[in-house]
Each structure stands twice: as structure tokens, then as C-alpha cells.
Amino acid sequence: MSSLPKSVAPAASGAHQRFVPVDHTKVAFPGGFWESWTRTAREVTVPSQYRRLEEEGFLEVLDFGKPPAPLVRPIQPSGLSMQHFFDSDFGKWIEAASYTLKTHPDPDLEAKIDGIVEKLEQGQMADGYLNSWFIRREPEKRWTNLRDLHEMYSMGHLLEGAVAYFEATGKRRFLDVMIRAVDHIIDTFGPEPDKLAGYDAHEEIELALVKLWRVTGDPRHLKLATWFVDERGQMPSYYDGEARRRGEDPATYIYQTYAYSQAHEPVREQREVVGHAVRAMYLFSAMADLSHENDDPALKAACDRLFDNLTGRQLYVTGGLGPSASNEGFTRAFDLPNETAYAETCAAVALGFWTHRMAQTDLDRRFTDRLETVLYNGALSGIARDGEHYFYENVLESHGQHRRWKWHYCPCCPTNIARMLTSLGQYFYSAKKDELAVHLYGENTAELDIGGRFVRLRQETRYPWDGDVALALTLENPATFTFTLRIPGWCREASVSVNGETVDLGAACVKGYASITREWRNGDEIRLSFAMPAERLYAHPAAGEDAGRVALRRGPVVYCVEEADIGIEPQRLRLSSEAALEPRFDATLLGGAVVLEAEGLEADAQGWTGDLYRTTAPELRPRPFRAIPYHLWANRETGAMQVWLLEA
């Protein structure tokens, strides 16, 4: 079941020396940091999300034979109801569930997916069109409002689900349904005069089409993705004409600017990351894919510029992104409010998708450093330790008003973090002809195919709690290839040895990856040691919200202080620049974690009588405190939290 059926052409990937991520099913997490996160995702998150989809009426939209039920989500001022894109939610759920099936077969789960697929197939229109909202409620309006109504966004997620399910089970039914839907899109959209020159304002179909192309090898799939990306932002805007055809004045567009959808100018000309954050990340993911598949350095250059803009000016220290709720996205350079941070879980997950793709064509740790940042911080914070409560917004400061929820008005995030965790292994390793890249560290075992050389690898490590990593190799016959190991950007003192012999990292490193080429033998061991002191981070002075403040980081893990640990609001705390930060492993904390202990100072409110303001500064008195990993916050009693601590 794991190989492609012959009727579908093999993926064309790798032709241009792209790294190919390892199949996630080849990486297991039998212990260590990710063991409980991935197990919980599989055992709790996936089944509980199906229950939510049932309970909340999401699956009802597939009862094509019945008259539609009353709306459970009202129409927004934009004309969009969250219900317009319920298909995307079970599309993403199928994807997440599928990722678990090969390693953990579950006939009941498979039957649930088959049930959804059967309904989708029954509902699909004769011409291939597939969108439950429009088929059941407003068939006459299909393809009349790409700007607001997410038709292709929903289809894209169904398509990703279909590809994942096919790869997990070999069953073609869902894939065929979606190929027919894509055929319909190809019939409808394109540069030809008899077609619509439009593209969905919520990107997603583009990257899904690349996934499809890698399965089908059908050049029409790649061509459509490419055309959608290049058509985006061409003027006059498709959305203007489309609005006029609906009898609307384009000037009344509620989001005012097509920058909201990265459609304000051609993507190759874009230099600033703007608009809705998830849309941007999905677009850039497709651009990264296409820059490789089409051997298109200009598109790669656009990605690089956008990446630099994001990381240099618009990215939270946690890897969160998109500070503003009003556009679910970006505002201006250095605008990084902490308590009102939107920083949607989906956006951090999708930044992981983008950076992962970038690293496959350009092995540079600046990409995988960010991937690691979201995995250990701003994406992981989106799911509770229990695997069934979530954050949509990942604030960096709270006064206790933020609580994880069981399900959301717009539940896009739960399935997004689920599909990341259920396919986590793919982010750890990539291979090409004679080279294996190790991007991430964390206890795991992997079965790797490096240009036909089969290697079993075992990472033994307490990472991210400890910086020592041992990579033990098992291979039947000696084989010569290159091991390329990421030296994390956060690390300023790294050493690598092979069978006890130190590697000269200065000579071995390119773009933060150390390459070791040799004949590898069974039992060889690579040891990495990353010095992992607790550190203070300072934000760029233009990020005014963080001025005079420090964030604490150790290794890839960003810390926060939670009221639950210290009994007062952390906003009361200050940390002197001299105070020692003492890491200590606390086995009792939510599955075990390294906490940072320090002697802080507490601003004393005693003597503050009546008025809010006075002319003498509050007294500061010693207050020991501890900081916990940011991704663990809001898993105990509700209270205040802060990432950026005031320096005393």
C-alpha cells in the first residue's frame, strides 16, 4: 500500500536536486519530547475532532439529498459565512487522520473517512464541481465571488486530504473525485479567452495542486498552480471585474485593499509580507514549491525577499505572525503587540510549511531555524497538553482573559496543528541522491532511503531539554554518502564528532549545515553537542512594545512566566540583567519540562493609596520566580502570562 499504484505516474520531484522530505511514516517517536505530543495527536486529537465535526453540524453539510439545515454560522459583513468553508475543515481532518493510518491502522477511522468520501462523491456535480455550500445552497452563485467566498480554498483542502488518504491507503476513490474537481477547475479557469482569469483570494489550491502533481505527474496540475500564482495581483484586478458582474461597486470591498489577499501586485514584485497571514503563508508555500518545480530563480528570489521581510520585521519571537485581528494578519514593520497578538495557530503552522519547503531547495538553516521555532513554540502553543483544547490566537501576554477552547467559531486551527503533528516525522529529515539532511533534533527512529542506500537512524537525545544528541546508524553494507547536519542558529557553541573524532565545523559548515561525507558503516555514531544556556533575547529597538524587556530562551524553546507558578501577575515582575537563569528539569510539569528559575524583583503595590499614579517609583523587592516553556502555557489554572519581561 505504500507505493504508488501504477496507474498514477510517479512524482516528478527531485529532478533539480531538490531534497525530498522523508515519508513521515518512516519516522517514529518511541520516546523523548515528541512521543506524547504525537501519540496524543493520534489517540486524542484526531478522534475528538471527528466528534466535534459531528456534534457541531459540520458533517451535515454533506447530506446532499436533504434540504440544508438552518445556518449555524451567520453571514458576515463580507458576505462570507464560516459555513461556506466547512469542507476545508473536514478536508484537513481527513488529511490529519490519514497521516496516522499507515503506522496505526484503524478500520473504524478509515470507515469514517470513507463515509465522508462517499457523500462527497454523491454530491459532486456532473461537471466535477465540488463545494457543499454552493451545490446545496446557491448553485447559481458558484464561481461568482472568488474574492470573498473561499470556493477553491475549500477544494484545496479536500485535495490535500485526498492525496494524504490515497498515500496512506492506496484507495483511489477520493483522489479520483478530486481529480475530477480539478479537471472542472481547469475547464473553468485559465488564460484562454473562454475561461475565467480568476484565482481564489484565500490561497491554498495552489500548494494542493503541487501535491497533486507530485502524485499524478499530470503537467496540467502543475501548470494550473503556476498560472494561479502568476495571475495573482495582475491589474486590472479580476476581483474588480467580478464585483461589477455581481452588480457591486468594487470600492465597497470590506477589506479595502487586495493586499489582504496578497493580490495587490504580482507576487514576483512583492517585497513586504502583507495581509492575511495564513493566506500569505499558503501562497509562499506554493511559490517555494513552484520555484523548484519550474526551476524559477525569480520566484525563489521573491520568496527570499519576503522571508527576510518577515523575519527581520514582522515575526514574533515565538514564531507567531500576523499581529492584528482586524485582517487576521500583518500591519506594519515592527508592530508586535503582545497582549493583542493575533498570531493565529494556522499562520505559525503554515510558516512551518513554507520554511520546510524553502529548505528543500535551499538548505539554509535560516529556514529550518524558523521551522524549529514554530514547532517548539508558536504552533505548538495552539494545542493543549490534553490534545483537545486549542488556541486560535497565540498571545505573548495575558491578564488571564485567554482560555483554550474545545471548539471554535472558525475552527481552522485544530485540524491544522493536528495535520502537522500527525505527519511530524517528515520535517526531521530530507534526502537527495547521496545526501541526508538532518533538520531537527528530538528522540526518534527513522528508516531512510538515501539514493537507494537504506539506513536506520536512531536519535538519542533529551532535546530540546538538553543539547546532546547521539545519532546511531544501522546499515547492512557500508555506504558512502553525505550526512548534512543543521547547527541551530541559536547555538553559539557546537561540536560534532563521528565515532569520537571531532569534526571541523568551520570547514564543514555551509549556511548553518555541517556536511560530513565518508563511508558510513553499521554502528557508526555521530555525536552533536549544542551548548544550551538560558539566554535573554532583546528585540530590535523599533519593536517598541518590547523595548526595555527581555524574552527568555533556551535552545529552541522560548519561555514565559505564568501566574500559576508565581502567584502574582508576571506583569509585576522585573528581571535584572545580572540575575542568573537556572535551568531545572521539572518532571511533574505537564509531562516534564525544563523550567528556568531566577531571582526577580516585584514592584510593590503597598503604600499605593487611592490614586493610580504617584510621583515616586514603586519599591522593588526580591521575588524568585520560574519561567516555563511558552508552548505549555494555559494548561493549568487560568491566570496572567508574559513572555517579554521587564528588565529591572
**Any idea which residues carry the catalytic annotation?**
328, 412
Residue 638 binding a copy of itself, by CB under 8 A: no
Taking the least distance from each CB to a copy of itself, the nearer of 407 and 538 is: 538
Residue 403 binding a copy of itself, by CB under 8 A: no
Residue 313 binding a copy of itself, by CB under 8 A: yes
Among the listed ranges 4-12, 45-53, 205-213, 536-544, the one in contact with a copy of itself (CB under 8 A) is 536-544
Residue from 114, 121, 599, 647 binding a copy of itself (CB under 8 A): 647
Residue from 105, 312, 478, 592 binding a copy of itself (CB under 8 A): 312
Among the listed ranges 107-115, 375-383, 572-580, 583-591, the one in contact with a copy of itself (CB under 8 A) is 572-580
Beta-carbon contacts of 41 under 8 Å, excluding residues fewer than 6 positions away, are 96, 383, 387, 418, 421, 422
Nearest one of 113, 1, 131 to 46, comparing CA atoms: 113
Among the listed ranges 104-112, 157-165, 612-620, 621-629, the one in contact with a copy of itself (CB under 8 A) is 612-620
Taking the least distance from each CB to a copy of itself, the nearer of 413 and 603 is: 603
Residue from 551, 593, 598, 641 binding a copy of itself (CB under 8 A): 551
Pairing label, strands 27-28, 444-450: antiparallel
Site mask, a copy of itself, residues 506-535, x = CB under 8 A? -----------------------------x
Q: How far is the CB of 641 from a copy of itself (least distance, A)?
A: 11
Among the listed ranges 208-216, 406-414, 524-532, 609-617, the one in contact with a copy of itself (CB under 8 A) is 609-617
Residue 613 binding a copy of itself, by CB under 8 A: yes
Residue from 191, 616, 622, 637 binding a copy of itself (CB under 8 A): 616
* Alpha helices in 170-218, H assignment, sequence order: 173-188, 205-216
C-beta of residue 175 within 8 angstroms of C-beta of residue 211: no
* Alpha helices in 362-514, H assignment, sequence order: 365-373, 412-422, 505-508
Residue 603 binding a copy of itself, by CB under 8 A: yes
Residue from 115, 139, 523, 548 binding a copy of itself (CB under 8 A): 548
Taking the least distance from each CB to a copy of itself, the nearer of 207 and 627 is: 627
Taking the least distance from each CB to a copy of itself, the nearer of 7 and 615 is: 615
Residues touching a copy of itself, count (CB under 8 A): 51
Residue 618 binding a copy of itself, by CB under 8 A: yes
The amino acid occupying position 517 is T
How many CB atoms are closer than 10 A to CB 524?
Answer: 18
Q: What is the dihedral angle through the alpha carbons of 408, 52, 344, 595, rounded to the nearest 10 degrees?
A: 110
C-beta of residue 431 within 8 angstroms of C-beta of residue 19: yes
Residue from 187, 454, 480, 608 binding a copy of itself (CB under 8 A): 608
DSSP 603: E
Residue 614 binding a copy of itself, by CB under 8 A: yes
Residue 255 binding a copy of itself, by CB under 8 A: no
Residue 202 binding a copy of itself, by CB under 8 A: no
Residue 611 binding a copy of itself, by CB under 8 A: yes
Among the listed ranges 23-31, 470-478, 568-576, 631-639, the one in contact with a copy of itself (CB under 8 A) is 568-576
Cα separation, 495 vs 320, in Å, equals 30
Cα separation, 359 vs 445, in Å, equals 22
Residue 541 binding a copy of itself, by CB under 8 A: yes
Residue 196 binding a copy of itself, by CB under 8 A: no
CA torsion through residues 251, 253, 256, 261, sign: negative
The three grid cell numbers given for residue 363, joined into one nine-digit string = 538548505
Helix or strand holding residue 486 (H, E): strand 479-486
Taking the least distance from each CB to a copy of itself, the nearer of 134 and 354 is: 354
Backbone angles phi, psi at 512, to 5 degrees: 85, 5
SS3 per residue for 79-135: CCEHHHHHHHHHHHHHHHHHHHHCCCCCHHHHHHHHHHHHHHHHHCCCCCCCCHHHH
Across the strands, what pairs with 626?
Answer: 597
Residue from 337, 464, 488, 512 binding a copy of itself (CB under 8 A): 337
Nearest one of 642, 630, 496 to 574, comparing CA atoms: 642
Residue 271 binding a copy of itself, by CB under 8 A: no
Among the listed ranges 44-52, 112-120, 192-200, 613-621, the one in contact with a copy of itself (CB under 8 A) is 613-621
Nearest one of 164, 613, 191, 646 to 426, comparing CA atoms: 164
Residue from 101, 179, 543, 596 binding a copy of itself (CB under 8 A): 543
Residue from 399, 406, 456, 511 binding a copy of itself (CB under 8 A): 399
Backbone angles phi, psi at 398, to 5 degrees: -145, 150
Residue from 72, 537, 564, 590 binding a copy of itself (CB under 8 A): 537
Among the listed ranges 239-247, 341-349, 374-382, 544-552, the one in contact with a copy of itself (CB under 8 A) is 544-552
Cα separation, 493 vs 528, in Å, equals 11
DSSP 633: T
Nearest one of 449, 416, 445 to 435, comparing CA atoms: 449
Give the end-to-end CA distance of the chain in Å, rounded to a whole number: 60
The amino acid occupying position 243 is A
Interacting residue ranges for a copy of itself, rule: CB under 8 A: 308, 311-313, 315, 317, 332, 334-337, 339-340, 397, 399, 401, 535-544, 547-548, 551, 569, 571-572, 574, 577, 602-605, 608, 610-618, 642, 646-647
